[in-house]
Amino acid sequence: MEHSPVTTNPLIIMVINMTVVFIVLVSLIYLIKLIHFIDPTKEPEKKPEDGVAPGEPPLTVVKSSSPPPEPEPVEEGINPEVIAAISAAISAYGFSGQVKAVRIVNHEGTPWRASAKFNNLKRK
């Protein structure tokens, strides 16, 4: 007895396979939700009483007669942490010198944009 396939139409095979895949995905979603619902490792939520979290003192309002302190002035330039990161990246490539200055080269966009403008001017 020779077995023959039920269908050879690729569209029907695709619809059947897609249906099976989506059914499996939806069932996995509900399985994950069930696991999160009955998770034994999750700590029970503690409801705060009167808006105060447990272990913290209640908030009190204090009126101050002095004006708020002035914010610290923002320094212009590049953040020292950025300079340290640039120096570390340069030394990672094997450069054994000292970074003396870091400056922003292109304020009007990326170097790619400047290169594209240059190439377009060159073609005309």
Length, in residues, of the chain: 124
For 81-108, write each residue's pLDDT tens digit.
887 888 888 888 887 777 777 666 655 6
Instruction: Report the mean per-residue pLDDT for the chain.
Output: 76
Rounded Cα–Cα distance for residues 57 and 1 (Å)? 83
Average pLDDT over residues 67-86: 72
Per-residue confidence (pLDDT) for residue 24, from 0 to 100: 97
Rounded Cα–Cα distance for residues 122 and 111 (Å)? 16
For 6-24, write each residue's pLDDT tens digit.
788 999 999 999 999 999 9
Confidence of residue 62 (pLDDT cuts 50, 70, 90): low
pTM over 0.75: no
Rounded Cα–Cα distance for residues 65 and 49 (Å)? 32
